[in-house]
Homo-oligomer: A and B are copies of this chain.
Amino acid sequence: MTYYGLHALQHRGQEASGIVTSEFLAEKQKWRFNAFKGNGLVADVFKDASILKDQLKGSSAIGHNRYSTTGSADNKFNIQPFVVNYKAGNLALGHNGNLTNFHTLRESLQSEGTIFQSTTDSEIILHLTARSKHEGQIHQLKEALDAVEGAYSLVILTDTSLIAARDPYGLRPLCLGRIETGSAKGPAYVVASETCAFDLVGATYVGEVEPGEILVIDQEGVQSGTLKSYHISKTPAEPHHCIFEYIYFSRPDSKIFGENVDKVRRKLGKLLAAESPVRPDSEDDRVVVISVPDSSNTATLGFVTEANKMGDDVRLEIGLIRSHYVGRTFIQPDQNSRELKVKTKFNTVKGVIKGRKVVIVDDSIVRGTTSKQLVKMIREAEPKEIHFRVTSPPIKFPCYYGMDFPSREELIANRCNSDVDKIAEELGVDSLAYLSMEKLLEAAPNGGRNYCTACFSGIYPVPIDRQLTKDANDT
């Protein structure tokens, strides 16, 4: 089940994957933790069925897909879930997010004689738990989580329980599902970043793991159908969910932060069409709207619907074909590699573009390099004009809570001093429009309240150490 869940969540991390199970050895009357981890996609790491059957036996399991934000991607010690043995037994941890005070905590722990195996921020949680003087693993873990700051959605495995925990701001999603087992012991529980994992394994969505919640599923919990809930001490009143999850990161078939992603995404497209329409030049003319597949498909549908509703004769066309086989690492030639990389992923359908006024709808622009190559490709198909529409505001600030955005200098919006005309010129388009911050918040559920918009606004809800870099701990 964990394997299929990781597969459903493959889009959240493609660098590495791992599963840890807890198995009760009846003859020794103790628990053994089994782990299998490797670099690459889920299907590549677990390519032999024997891994699941023979090497990952057990009654509970956690898994993790790695998308590195702290700690280098090619260090195999950085692959999660981490598994350790400490005074209170076995402990395994999978972490989504990014801790903002890990630098200070790591230095403090090292000065007291702690040895680190990985260069990730996540390992700190294990050491803090192991060093806690409290009795009981939950209380040890709570002490650790009271000390760390930043974004974290955690899955933790102990000898006798499965624990889910989420930072006080609820920056990253984490939801709880239930599987009816038909057993007298009651239902089984699963937790995952997005509900699309529940669909694949046949689980029903129960609700969110609350911001600041430490949710414990143990043998007793499973039997009685009740779960134990603890809370991190400094949980504030207001959450700050990452709004970029709705814009791009989550799958459209998922429900996160209590709302369907595809619904929000369609609304983003509608509001963008209203805010920055592209109209036919004449009655005979027809505007062709093209999505950058697959991440912008839903928003593009919203854009076209709204445009037609407003009376503009625009037509959705499939102008870009995305290869089914991307995701794999391709060999790059020495020259023109950026261009070829985009070309191995996308190709244009010339017939629908030629001679047309074309609108490209994309969800966001980060560095701008891919967009630039896409525009170049589309230009070769000889459209009359190219208009670029983005269903989010310009990204101008780095994310310290779990998105691997590049440095400020590399963000195209910064490089062009937030001058949209200059960005349009660099991309080579006839017009460019971003969705306004106001409309972005209008599209988001709950009236746009309780979101983190730091990458657009620079307003960081959790204090961050500006010296944070991805390779801070790498030598």
Contact = CB atoms under 8 A, between A and B. Distances in A.
A31 B475 contact: yes
Contact of A344 (B200, B323, B329): B200
A318 B262 contact: yes
Interface of A: 3-4, 7-8, 10-11, 30-33, 41-44, 46-49, 52, 84-87, 90, 110-117, 126-127, 130-132, 196, 199-200, 251-253, 260, 262-263, 293-294, 297-298, 301, 305, 315-318, 321-332, 340, 343-344, 347-352, 473, 475
A349 B255 CA distance: 10
Given A196-B347, A301-B316, A331 B31 contact: no
B43 A325 contact: yes
A20 B287 CA distance: 46
Contact of A347 (B8, B263, B322, B351): B8
B7 A117 contact: no
Q: Is the interface of A mostly helix, strand, loop or mixed?
A: mixed
Q: 5 nearest interchain CB pairs? A: A113-B131, A43-B328, A87-B110, A253-B321, A84-B115
Contact of A43 (B294, B330, B352): B330
Contact of A252 (B52, B127, B349, B473): B349
Given A127-B115, A475-B30, A351 B84 contact: no
A324 B321 contact: no
Nearest to A336: B202
A136 to B, nearest CB: 15
Contact of A321 (B116, B251, B305, B343): B251
Contacts of A11: 324
A144 to B, nearest CB: 11
Given A8-B347, A47-B331, A199-B348, 18 more contacts: A7-B325, A31-B475, A33-B475, A48-B331, A84-B116, A85-B473, A85-B475, A86-B114, A87-B111, A87-B113, A90-B475, A114-B114, A115-B127, A200-B347, A251-B347, A263-B351, A305-B315, A324-B327
A324 B52 CA distance: 23
Nearest to A44: B328
Given A262-B318, A331-B52, A131 B117 contact: no
A65 to B, nearest CB: 11
Nearest to A343: B200
| Max chain B C-beta neighbours (<10 A), residue from A31, A115, A127 | A115
B131 A350 contact: no
Contacts of A329: 43, 47
A315 B304 CA distance: 11
Contacts of A252: 318, 321, 349
| Max chain B C-beta neighbours (<10 A), residue from A113, A127, A263 | A113
A348 B199 CA distance: 9
| Max chain B C-beta neighbours (<10 A), residue from A11, A33, A130 | A130
Given A32-B475, A324-B326, A260 B199 contact: no
A263 to B, nearest CB: 5
A325 to B, nearest CB: 5
